[in-house]
Chain A
Amino acid sequence: MTVNDLADKLGLVFLTGQEDAQKQVSGCYCGDLLSFVMSRAKSGDAWLTVMGHLNSVGVAALADLACIILTENAPLSPDALERARQNKVIILQTEKTTFECAVAIAAFLKI
């Protein structure tokens, strides 16, 4: 499933452009402490977090994550948005809680 498919199915809003949304999503990781994400998230994971700042973009880029999904409508800082566009990191937003969003992703990915 691509990020685009996931966005469609879950009604996620794209904060970055949709150009690279053909990236494959193979799993999901939830967490807000960046070193945990670095350690445990797998490449291709959709990352659910409320941390919408510069360092989140760095983590997603370096760990080859499929996308960042900001849950509970957590805000994205303007500098992070710019960095995400430069580094081709896809960021989406949802009003769902991290739990609700993760459950929905699990259902679609059948994991």
Chain B
Amino acid sequence: MTVKLNFKIDGNDFTRAGEASGEVKRVLKELGLPSDVIRNVSIALYEGEINMYLHANGGQIEVAVSPDAVGMVLTDSGPGIENVALAMKEGYSTADDNIRSLGFGAGMGLPNIKKYTDHMMIETEVGVGTTIRLKVYIK
């Protein structure tokens, strides 16, 4: 059986940042998944969700929990990422002072997603948007 969850991220309401990730975590706990799987999914999803708020003015998150893996698709219609290889480097960030004053902008979000997932794929086009596909295996 596959459990599916869907979230619309309203880029204008930053006070709700992290809610979707929190809700996914709650559901995964209820489903009784191993705690390290839950933690990995939570961290990766949070970084992706925050990026949507900070860099893409919102978007959409789909999560599918099957017996062997948690799949996540994060889609936005933001500015896209010009140089993905650069964006994946630890320390690379285009965040402004405003974002930095909130504790973001270390340029660690995308590398964290990579670190905490088993599969990560970025499709992006400048001026069109970004789709990030992630998978964490349930071992």
Contact = CB atoms under 8 A, between A and B. Distances in A.
Given A38-B46, A54-B17, A61 B112 contact: no
A36 B105 CA distance: 10
Contact of B108 (A33, A53, A56, A59): A33
Contact of A64 (B18, B22, B35, B105): B35
Main secondary structure of the interface of B (DSSP, over half): helix
Contact of B112 (A39, A43, A53, A56): A39
Nearest to A49: B103
Main secondary structure of the interface of A (DSSP, over half): helix
Contacts, number: 70
Contact of B42 (A54, A63, A87): A63
A64 B109 CA distance: 18
A18 interface: no
Nearest to A87: B22
Q: How large is the interface on A (under 10, 10 to 19, 20 to 34, 35 or more residues)?
A: 20 to 34
B135 interface: no
B22 A53 contact: no
Most buried by A among B17, B42, B43, B103: B103
B22 A59 contact: no
Contacts of A53: 102-103
Interface residues of B, number: 24
Interface in A42-95: 43, 51, 53-56, 58-59, 61-64, 79, 87
Interface string B102-138: 1111111101100100000000000000000000000
B90 to A, nearest CB: 9
B103 A38 contact: no
B42 A39 contact: no
Contacts of A32: 103
Interface string B55-97: 0000000000000000000000000000000000000000000
Contacts of B18: 54-55, 58-59, 61-62
20 contacts: A33-B106, A34-B50, A35-B107, A39-B111, A39-B112, A39-B115, A43-B39, A53-B103, A54-B17, A55-B18, A55-B103, A55-B104, A61-B18, A61-B25, A62-B18, A62-B22, A62-B25, A62-B39, A63-B39, A63-B43
List 9 tightest A-B contacts by C-beta distance, closest first.
Answer: A58-B18, A35-B108, A33-B106, A62-B42, A34-B103, A35-B106, A39-B112, A51-B103, A62-B46
